[in-house]
Amino acid sequence: MHRWSEAFIPTLREAPADAEVASHKFLVRSGYIRQLAAGIYSYLFLGNRSFNKIVAIVREEMDRIGQEFYLPALHPRELWEASGRWGLMGENLFRLKDRKGADLCLGMTEEEVMTSIALKDLRSYKQLPQIWYQIAPKFRDEPRPRSGLLRVRQFMMKDAYSFDIDAAGLDVSYKKHYDTYCRIFDRCGLKYMVVEADSGAMGGKESHEFMVRTPAGEDQIVSCDGCNYAANLEKATSRLEPWGDLAPEGDGKPLLVHTPGQKTIEDVAKFLGVSPKNKIKTLAYMAEEKDEKTGKTKLRGVVVLMRGDHQLNEAKLNGAVGAPTRPMEESEIKALFKSPAGYLGPVGIEWARDRKKDADKPVLFVDKALEGRVNLIAGANQEDYHMKNLTPGKDFHPTAYADLRAVTAGEGCPNCSLSLRIDTAVEIGHIFKLGYRYSESMGARVLDKNGKEVMPIMGCYGIGIERILTAAVEQSNDENGFWLPASIAPFEVVVSPVNVKDEAVRAAAEDIAKQLEAAGFDVILDDRNERPGVKFKDADLVGIPFRITVGNKVTEGTVELVLRSTREVRDVRITAVVESLRELLGRTG
């Protein structure tokens, strides 16, 4: 039996000065974790117990659909060069050299390692499908570690990879993971939601993120209370009013208009007596395009056209570009548009028709809200002049139309008619269809039924173990501490004798703790010679969902059962303690 008097549970009365978010404060105060360096934490007794319970749940559920591996964290450079990620990952990859001077890195994910195994030992469609996973530390040299365990440089990740013979097979593997993730997070007692996600620059089609709403999160999610629509802000869309209603006026013949001193969208719209919805917003960016093979970066102009009253979503832009972007500097704007800012427009510039083929020309992305519109107004690339009656595709030629608009709260749901809400959330899991990216670059091939060589199609699926704990703490805390779902709490119940010097109380507590342990509960006995207040404060702080208070009512054969989440106190006969807890935990004897 675990005794508090012998356990190392260094609780703190005050939160450390450098903790900002609730989970960080409480995990430190409760003695779960201690910081070693920025984004690097040690898990102490309680933290590790909780951690292990989460891992056990993840493992148990994953074992139903896949096979657990144990893979190295230390990877040779060549492996990452084969996939092209040695150059692509940049500073986020921890790199080191061995004594011979050979380059190594610490794994951020295991696509390369898994694929290297697949390409050697998967030969036939008969071996597919395969789902391989591991639960192991991952390393990322984050630009900014943050918020306690939320964003760290070393963390435990369950990462899984699926190999299928075709897209239909991948659909099945993907669905298996989707369902498994739901089971895992349900068992961990989290209130989560599943959102459509952006699969990022790495390609791939379908992608879902598992999110827990909390102000401490780093993501913005858009959701509808009326239907099941939910998406990451990076990906979310909303319903637009039909553009026919915007009543554009004009004859479709481009016309230069004098607009002295009218620089902003608002100014111009008012000056010309039209709605900003008829105006084109021209935004200029530079993209840092990276050559996969050489790893060299090259700057390229990227111009974005938005409807006048819309905002650009930079995440969508980065996704569309496939490379990081930054706003153009004054000199770069001058060089491209030959016009001062405030009068920029798309007309008269030769845009790339094809991004790859016309590598020397700037790219023009036009938001989908402008597709099909006519008689629009944009800057004329001439001081004090704008141009009317513009039609995209006729008067200028976009490189591509793309969804680049930022959804704002209150807009219409794309599926139903209700309005959308936006919440901050933390991502605890992410599943996505990788496709052929690694099979192709690393050369994984199997023979299909016809003896033809084909590439296996892959999926990858991650869960952040720390984030489950963090999200659980964020989800359930008050000024005194937090409470975890029994399934992931370090202990399910703490037995707190009010005074260990009172022999009747001490003996009863001891006896109850033994009974609970014998009944299969994870119990800790707070046998410290402390005043009751100290014990109660500690018990409230450390995340244990139930407490048995053993006090002077033992003489009547009664103790108190305290529910941490609601602070409800129930008098329970000593003989009925085990039964009461079983009931609360939904457990049968």
Residues numbered 509 to 538 that lie near RNA (CB under 7 A) are 529-534, 536-538
Nearest to 89 by CA among 69, 71, 70, 103: 103
Q: Does 430 bind RNA (CB under 7 A)?
A: yes
Q: Is the peptide bond before 129 cis (omega within 30 degrees of 0)?
A: yes
* Cα 514 to Cα 525: distance, rounded to the nearest angstrom: 9
Least spacing, CB of residue 18 vs RNA, in Å: 4
Q: Minimum distance between the CB of residue 160 and RNA, rounded to whole angstroms? A: 11
- Cβ-based nearer residue to RNA, 122 or 321: 321
CB of 542 to RNA, least distance (A): 9
> Does residue 97 sit in helix, strand or coil?
strand
List 369, 541, 548, 581, residue binding RNA (CB under 7 A): 541
Written as six digits, the tokens of 25 are: 């404060």
User: Minimum distance between the CB of residue 234 and RNA, rounded to whole angstroms?
Assistant: 6
Question: Which residue from 68, 81, 103, 142 is in contact with RNA, where contact means CB under 7 A?
Answer: 142
Tallying the residues shown for the chain, one arrives at 589
- Over the window 7 to 26, marking each residue x when it contacts RNA by CB under 7 A and - when it does not, the resulting string is ----xxxxxxxx-xx--x--
Could you say which residues in the range 561-580 bind RNA, by CB under 7 A?
A: 562, 569
Q: Which of residues 294-323 bind RNA (CB under 7 A)?
A: 314-315, 318
Instruction: Quote the least distance from Cβ 144 to RNA, whole Å.
Output: 4
Supply the minimum distance, in Å, between the C-beta of residue 350 and RNA.
Answer: 29
CB of 247 vs RNA, minimal distance in Å? 36
Residue 546 lies near RNA (rule: CB under 7 A): no
Site for RNA in 93-112 (CB under 7 A): 109
- Is 493 a binding residue for RNA by CB under 7 A? The answer is no
Phi/psi at 587 (nearest 5 deg)?
-115, 145
Both tokens of 478, joined, read: 């008050």
SS3 assignment, position 515: helix
Candidate residues 3, 5, 38, 504; the one interacting with RNA per rule CB under 7 A: 38
- Residues 6+ positions from 553 with CB-CB distance below 8 Å: 559, 560, 571
Is 466 a residue that touches RNA (CB under 7 A)?
yes
State the helix-helix crossing angle for 45-62 and 167-187, rounded to 10 degrees. 140
- Considering the rule CB under 7 A, would residue 377 count as an interface residue with RNA? no
- Which listed residue (54, 58, 114, 157) binds RNA by CB under 7 A? 157
Give dist(CA 318, CA 282) in Å, integer: 17
In this structure, what token pair is assigned to residue 441?
């670059």
In the bound state with RNA, the residue whose beta carbon lies nearer, of 411 and 540, is: 540
Query: Quick check: 356 binds RNA (CB under 7 A)?
Result: no
Task: Enumerate residues 179-198 that contact RNA by CB under 7 A.
Answer: 198
The residue (of 56 and 272) whose beta carbon lies closer to RNA is 56
CB of 406 to RNA, least distance (A): 11
Residue 419 contacts residue 412 (beta carbons within 8 Å): yes
Enclosing H/E stretch for 94: strand 94-97
Q: Which is nearer to RNA, 395 or 526 (CB)?
A: 526
Residue 328 to residue 303: CA distance in whole angstroms = 9
Choose among 40, 103, 115: nearest CA to 75.
Answer: 103
Please identify which residue in the block is written with the tokens 């342990």: 517
Q: CB under 7 A: which stretch of 62-70, 249-257, 413-421, 456-464 binds RNA? A: 456-464
Determine the interface stretch with RNA among 6-14, 112-120, 279-287, 436-444 (rule: CB under 7 A). 6-14
Pairwise CA distance, residues 337 & 303, whole Å? 10
123, burial (CB in 10 Å: exposed 0-12, middle 13-18, buried 19+)? exposed
